[in-house]
Amino acid sequence: MSEKRYVLDSFAVLAYLQDEPGAQLVENILADKESVVFLCAINLGEVYYITHRERGEAEAERVLLVMEQLPIKEVLPDRALILQAARIKAEYTVSYADAFVAALAERLAATVVTGDPEFEQLPSVAIKWLPQA
Protein backbone atom coordinates (compact mmCIF):
# COMPACT_ATOMS: atom_id res chain seq x y z
CA MET A 1 0.00 0.00 0.00
CA SER A 2 1.23 3.48 -0.75
CA GLU A 3 1.72 6.06 1.93
CA LYS A 4 -0.68 8.97 2.23
CA ARG A 5 1.00 12.34 2.71
CA TYR A 6 -0.65 15.18 4.57
CA VAL A 7 0.40 18.72 5.44
CA LEU A 8 -1.32 20.24 8.46
CA ASP A 9 -2.02 23.93 8.69
CA SER A 10 -2.36 25.79 11.98
CA PHE A 11 -6.16 25.54 11.76
CA ALA A 12 -5.92 21.72 11.86
CA VAL A 13 -3.25 21.66 14.58
CA LEU A 14 -5.20 24.03 16.82
CA ALA A 15 -8.44 22.09 16.24
CA TYR A 16 -6.64 18.94 17.36
CA LEU A 17 -4.91 20.50 20.37
CA GLN A 18 -8.04 22.30 21.58
CA ASP A 19 -10.41 19.39 20.86
CA GLU A 20 -12.46 21.51 18.48
CA PRO A 21 -14.51 20.30 15.50
CA GLY A 22 -12.17 18.35 13.26
CA ALA A 23 -9.97 17.10 16.11
CA GLN A 24 -11.06 13.50 15.53
CA LEU A 25 -10.18 13.65 11.84
CA VAL A 26 -6.68 14.95 12.66
CA GLU A 27 -6.30 12.27 15.34
CA ASN A 28 -7.32 9.57 12.85
CA ILE A 29 -4.77 10.80 10.31
CA LEU A 30 -2.03 10.87 12.95
CA ALA A 31 -2.93 7.33 14.06
CA ASP A 32 -3.03 5.92 10.52
CA LYS A 33 0.17 3.89 9.98
CA GLU A 34 -0.02 4.55 6.23
CA SER A 35 -0.09 8.32 6.72
CA VAL A 36 2.97 10.56 6.81
CA VAL A 37 2.17 13.95 8.31
CA PHE A 38 4.19 17.12 7.77
CA LEU A 39 4.17 20.60 9.28
CA CYS A 40 6.19 23.54 8.02
CA ALA A 41 8.20 25.22 10.79
CA ILE A 42 6.53 28.51 9.81
CA ASN A 43 3.18 27.01 10.77
CA LEU A 44 4.56 25.69 14.04
CA GLY A 45 5.45 29.31 14.78
CA GLU A 46 1.91 30.30 13.88
CA VAL A 47 0.48 27.73 16.33
CA TYR A 48 2.88 29.05 18.99
CA TYR A 49 2.01 32.73 18.58
CA ILE A 50 -1.75 32.10 18.42
CA THR A 51 -1.60 29.97 21.57
CA HIS A 52 0.64 32.51 23.32
CA ARG A 53 -1.71 35.38 22.44
CA GLU A 54 -4.90 33.53 23.41
CA ARG A 55 -3.75 31.40 26.36
CA GLY A 56 -0.38 32.70 27.51
CA GLU A 57 3.27 31.83 27.11
CA ALA A 58 3.22 28.85 29.49
CA GLU A 59 0.48 27.18 27.42
CA ALA A 60 2.35 27.94 24.19
CA GLU A 61 5.44 26.23 25.62
CA ARG A 62 3.33 23.24 26.72
CA VAL A 63 1.93 23.00 23.19
CA LEU A 64 5.48 22.78 21.81
CA LEU A 65 6.18 19.85 24.13
CA VAL A 66 2.98 18.11 23.04
CA MET A 67 3.82 18.71 19.37
CA GLU A 68 7.23 17.07 19.81
CA GLN A 69 5.49 13.84 20.85
CA LEU A 70 3.23 13.66 17.80
CA PRO A 71 4.12 11.72 14.64
CA ILE A 72 4.59 14.91 12.62
CA LYS A 73 7.64 15.65 10.49
CA GLU A 74 8.65 19.29 10.86
CA VAL A 75 10.01 20.81 7.65
CA LEU A 76 12.35 23.79 7.75
CA PRO A 77 11.80 25.99 4.71
CA ASP A 78 14.67 26.20 2.27
CA ARG A 79 15.11 28.89 -0.36
CA ALA A 80 13.05 27.02 -2.97
CA LEU A 81 10.12 26.57 -0.57
CA ILE A 82 10.31 30.22 0.51
CA LEU A 83 10.19 31.38 -3.09
CA GLN A 84 7.32 29.02 -3.97
CA ALA A 85 5.37 30.32 -0.95
CA ALA A 86 6.11 33.88 -2.09
CA ARG A 87 4.77 33.07 -5.58
CA ILE A 88 1.58 31.65 -4.08
CA LYS A 89 1.20 34.69 -1.82
CA ALA A 90 1.68 37.00 -4.82
CA GLU A 91 -0.99 35.23 -6.87
CA TYR A 92 -3.65 34.46 -4.24
CA THR A 93 -5.18 36.20 -1.23
CA VAL A 94 -3.89 33.75 1.36
CA SER A 95 -1.85 34.45 4.45
CA TYR A 96 1.90 34.08 4.15
CA ALA A 97 1.80 31.13 6.58
CA ASP A 98 -0.88 29.42 4.48
CA ALA A 99 1.27 29.98 1.40
CA PHE A 100 3.93 27.82 3.07
CA VAL A 101 1.36 25.08 3.68
CA ALA A 102 0.38 25.14 0.02
CA ALA A 103 4.00 25.25 -1.20
CA LEU A 104 4.95 22.30 1.00
CA ALA A 105 1.90 20.32 -0.15
CA GLU A 106 2.83 20.99 -3.78
CA ARG A 107 6.43 19.90 -3.17
CA LEU A 108 5.43 16.68 -1.41
CA ALA A 109 2.36 15.90 -3.55
CA ALA A 110 0.48 15.90 -0.25
CA THR A 111 -3.05 16.73 0.82
CA VAL A 112 -3.61 19.79 3.02
CA VAL A 113 -5.68 19.18 6.15
CA THR A 114 -7.54 22.36 7.07
CA GLY A 115 -10.83 24.05 7.78
CA ASP A 116 -9.58 27.41 6.54
CA PRO A 117 -11.67 28.66 3.60
CA GLU A 118 -8.64 30.58 2.22
CA PHE A 119 -7.52 27.29 0.67
CA GLU A 120 -10.61 27.08 -1.58
CA GLN A 121 -8.91 29.41 -4.07
CA LEU A 122 -5.82 27.22 -4.55
CA PRO A 123 -6.52 24.87 -7.47
CA SER A 124 -3.15 23.10 -7.33
CA VAL A 125 -3.63 21.82 -3.77
CA ALA A 126 -5.69 18.80 -2.70
CA ILE A 127 -7.68 19.51 0.48
CA LYS A 128 -9.07 17.27 3.20
CA TRP A 129 -11.60 19.52 4.88
CA LEU A 130 -12.15 19.42 8.62
CA PRO A 131 -15.79 19.10 9.61
CA GLN A 132 -17.31 22.26 11.05
CA ALA A 133 -19.39 22.48 14.22
**CATH number of domain containing 35:** 3.40.50.1010
Provide the annotated binding site for Mg(2+).
Answer: 9, 98
Domain that holds residue 78: 4-129
59: CB partners within 8 A, 6+ apart: 51, 52
Calculate mean pLDDT across residues 66-86: 98
Q: What is the reported pLDDT for 73?
A: 98
61: CB partners within 8 A, 6+ apart: none
Q: What is the reported pLDDT for 112?
A: 98
- Reported as a pLDDT band with limits 50, 70 and 90, residue 132 is confident
The span from the CA of 58 to the CA of 73, in Å, is 24
Provide the annotated binding site.
Answer: 9, 98
2 pLDDT higher than 80: no
The span from the CA of 79 to the CA of 58, in Å, is 32
For all residues of the chain together, what is the average pLDDT? 96
pTM for the whole thing? Answer: 0.95
Count structural domains, the chain: 1
